Amino acid sequence: MVGNKESQTMVAEKGKQPIGGARKELRDAFADALLHLGELYPQVLFLDADLHTSTKAVVFKERYPNRFYQFGIAEQNLFGAAAGLAWEGFIPFPSTFASFVARRALDQIAISIAYPALNVKIPGSYAGVPTSRAGASHNCIEDLAVMRSLPNVKVADPGSYRDLFTLMEEAVKTPGPVYFRVARYAVPEFLPPEYHFTWGKGIRLREGEDVTLLGTGIMSWFCVLAATELEKGGVQAEVIHMPSIKPLDKDLVLESVRKTGCAVTAENASIVGGFGAAVLEALSESWPVPLERVGVPDTFVESGGTNELFQRCGMRPEDIVQRAIALVHRVKGKKR
Amino acid sequence: MKPLSKEIVSYLEDQAFEIRRLSVEMIAYGQWGHIGGSFSMAEILAVLYFHHMTIDPRNPKAENRDRLVLSKAHGSPALYAALALRGFYPVEQIYQYCEPEGLEGHTNPHGAPGVETAGGPLGMGLSVAVGMALGLRRKENPRSRVFCILGDGELNEGNVWEAAMSASHYRLDNLIAVVDYNKVQAKGFVWEEMGIEPVAEKWKSFGWKVIETDGHDVEALAETFYRARWIEPSGSPICVIAHTVKGMGVERAEFNYKWHTHAPDPKTADEMIRELAKRYGKPEIGYSRVNEPVKKETFYGGE
C-alpha cells in the first residue's frame, strides 16, 4: 500500500495510535535510508561539507567510501558540484545544515540546480529549533519559506522515522530537485506501519469535529499530544500530519476545515512564509477559516535547551492546546 | 602538435568573425546582451567548437563528447552563435534571443541543444564543471574533457576559489578552466574594480597548472588546448589564462566597460558589423535587420 490516504486514515484511527513508545532519532532514519538507497541505487552519491558525523551520514562513508565526496567547508561549491554530477546522470545528496542550505548556497541551488530541475536530493539537517544550543546562526527557521518559493523544488518536513525513511525512498524515485528536512530530534513512531510518504498527501491521524490541528515535521507529534489533552477538556481535535509541504494536500485540508471550521498549524520553523503560510494561501483562495499559526514567531532563535526554546517560541504541546482552545472559544463560543 | 595549415587558420578566423557578427545581430535584434564579453572570447569558442572539442551536433548529449560550461554566462550570444554555426540549431534561431521560449538571456539548456548548464550569477560554473569532471571519472570516461570559461571579473567571486580548491584536491586533470582575461569587468578595469593579480600565481597556488596564451590568436589557442588535453595532464587541473581584449573587433567597444552590457540601435549595429568586416578582411556586410523597427521596452500607464 503506497500513499493511499483513505486506508492510511482508517488504520490510524482503528489502531488508536499509541501515545509514547520508544523515541527514534530522525537522523538515524536518515542514516538507515542512505544505506538502503545506496544499496538499491548505484547512482546515489553522498556529498558532504565537513559534517558527516553530525548528520550521521558517516555510515554511508564507511559502507560506500567511493561514493562519498568530501567538499570541505564550502557549501557554494558543494551544491555546484552536485549539479555537475546530476548533469552526468548521478543522484547526489549534497548535505549540510539546513541554515547553510537555505542561506549560504541559495543562489547555487536556485540557478545551478532548481532552474534546470536537476535530480539533486537536498537534506537540510538540524532543521528548526532543536540544534543543541548552537544559537541563531544554526537554528534554521526560514528554510521552509525560502525553499518552497523556488520553482521546480519539492519540499518536505518528515515527522518520524518511518516518515523520513519512506520520504527518502520516494525522493530518489521522484525526478527533479527535492528539499527535505532532518530534525535533530527524536519522536515515537506516530505513523501506522503501512504508511508510506507520498508527495501532496497528508494523513489524518485522528478524527475530530471542533478544530483541525495541521502539523508538519516533528510538530505533528506535538499535535497528537495536544489532541489527547484537548479531549480531556472536551475539545475534539482532528489531527492531520502533512509532511509534503510542496505540493500541499489542499483537498485534505479543505475537507477537514469544512467540517471543523477552524485550524491550528504547527511547524518547527518561522511562521513567516512557512508551512502555516502555505496552508493559509491554500485556504484563502478557496475556503478561508480562522487559523492560528504555531511556530517560531518572527524572531531569531538564540541558544538554549530544546525544551526551553520550544517554550520561548510557544511551540510546546501545551501551547498548541491553549491556542486551540482560545480559537475554538473565539469561533464557536465553546467554554473550556 | 603539427602547426595548423593556412586553410584551417583562415577557417577558424572566419568562424570567430561570424561569432562576432551573429552576436551583434542577436544583441541588436533582441535589444539586450553583452557585446564586450562576447567579442573577447570569439576566438576561444571558434577554436574549441570548430577545431579542438569532440562534439556532435546530431547527438548533443553523446556520452563521449567534451563538455563546455560557460561560467561567464552573460557571454551567451557568442556561445549561441558558435552552436548555431556548428549546426546544433538553425542560425535563424538566434533572432529568438531573449524572447519567451527562445534563447535565454543568460545560458539555459532548454531549447538550446549544445548548451550544457544554466548560468548567470557569476562564480558558479566552475563548481558545476568540477561535478561533471568527477562524474566523468566515475563513469570511467578518460577521453572527454570538461572546459569551463570564466571571466576575469568573475574571479572576484569566492565560489570560484572553493571550486578551484576542490578540483586540485580531487586531482581533476580532465578539467580545463579558461579565463577570458579581457581586463575589463562590468563597471571598469579589473585592476580598478577589484584587482586579481597575480592571477597566474593564484591558480598555481591552488594546485593548478597554468598556461598563458594570446586569446585572439587561433594558432596559439589550438596549441594551448592541445597541450592542456594531451601533454599537461598529470594529476592537476589546468587553467588556461587567455589574454584578450574586451570588445575586441570594434574600436568603440574595446577595453570599454560601457559596452559590457549595451544593445546597439540598428544604425550602430550596422556600423559595428561593417567595421568588423573591414577589420577581418571580409566582403562588405552590414546588420541584416537594419530597417526593422527596434523592440521597445513598454510600461503600463502614463505617456
- For A143-189, write each residue's pLDDT tens digit: 999 999 999 999 999 999 999 999 999 999 999 999 999 999 999 99
Return the bridge partners of B243, or none. Answer: B181, B214
* Cβ distance of B163 and A88 shorter than 8 Å: no
Whether residues A116 and B165 touch (CB distance < 8 A) is answered with no
pLDDT at A182: 98
Nearest CB among B117, B132, B162 relative to A77 is that of B162
| CATH code of domain A8-14+192-332 | 3.40.50.920
CA distance A27 to A48: 15
Confidence class for position A334, pLDDT limits 50, 70, 90: low
Cα angle value A20/A23/A26 (rounded, 5°): 135
Which class for B92: exposed (0-12), middle (13-18), buried (19 or more C-beta within 10 A)? Answer: exposed
A82 CB neighbours in chain B (<8 A) are 131
CATH architecture of the domain with residue range A20-188 = 3-Layer(aba) Sandwich (3.40)
Element (H, E) at A181: strand A178-182
Question: pTM (2 decimals)?
Answer: 0.94
Q: Using an 8 Å Cβ cutoff, are B3 and B219 in contact?
A: yes
The Cα of B5 is separated from the nearest Cα of chain A by a number of Å equal to 36
B81 Cα to chain A: minimum distance (Å): 21
Contact call for A81 and B119, based on CB within 8 A? no
A contacts of B117 (beta carbons < 8 Å): 83, 87, 112, 116
pLDDT at A15 over 80: no
Contact list in B for residue A116 (CB cut-off 8 A) is: 108-110, 117-118
Q: How many CB pairs under 8 A join A and B?
A: 100
* Per-residue confidence (pLDDT) for residue A207, from 0 to 100: 97
| CB < 8 Å to B158, chain A | 76
pLDDT digits (tens, 9 = 90+) for A184-221: 999 999 999 999 999 999 999 999 999 999 999 999 99
Beta bridge partner(s), residue B190: none
* Residue that has been written with the C-alpha cell 515527522 in this structure: A159
Q: Domain spans of chain B?
A: 6-279
Pick the residue of A68, A87, A96 with the most B CBs within 10 A to test the interface with B by mutation.
A87
Cell numbers representing residue A308 in the block = 526551553
Q: How confident is residue A19, by pLDDT bands cut at 50, 70 and 90?
A: low
Cα separation, A243 vs A113, in Å, equals 22
Q: How much of chain B exceeds pLDDT 90, in percent?
A: 95
Out of B127, B138, B170, the one facing A90 most closely (by C-beta) is B138
Q: If pLDDT is split at 50, 70 and 90, which confidence band does A4 have?
A: very low
Measured on CA atoms in the order A81, A83, A85, A87, is the torsion positive or negative? negative
Per residue in A22-51, pLDDT tens?
999 999 999 999 999 999 999 999 999 999
Query: What's chain B's average pLDDT?
Result: 96
Residues B167 and B22: beta-carbon distance below 8 Å: no
- ipTM for the whole predicted complex goes beyond 0.85: yes
- Subunit contact B166:A81, Cβ cutoff 8 A: yes
Q: A211, A239 in Cβ contact below 8 A?
A: no
Across chain A, mean pLDDT equals 93
pLDDT of residue B52: 98
- Determine, for residues A107 and B133 on separate chains, whether the beta-carbon distance falls below 8 Å: no
Which pLDDT belongs to residue A20?
59
- For the segment A90-115, the average pLDDT, to the nearest whole number, is 98
Residue A234 pLDDT: 95
pLDDT at A248 over 80: yes
pLDDT digit of tens for each residue in chain B (303 aa)?
889 999 999 999 999 999 999 999 999 999 999 999 999 999 999 999 999 999 999 999 999 999 999 999 999 999 999 999 999 999 999 999 999 999 999 999 988 999 999 999 999 999 999 999 999 999 999 999 999 999 999 999 999 999 999 999 999 999 999 999 999 999 999 999 999 999 999 999 999 999 999 999 999 999 999 999 999 889 999 999 999 999 999 999 999 999 999 999 999 999 999 999 999 999 999 999 999 999 888 889 876
| CATH 3.40.50.970 domain extents, chain A | 20-188
How far apart CA A60 and CA A92 sit, in angstroms, is 13
> Class of B6-279 per CATH?
alpha beta
pLDDT per position as a tens digit, A125-137:
999 999 989 999 9
What is the location of CATH 3.40.50.920 in chain A? 8-14+192-332
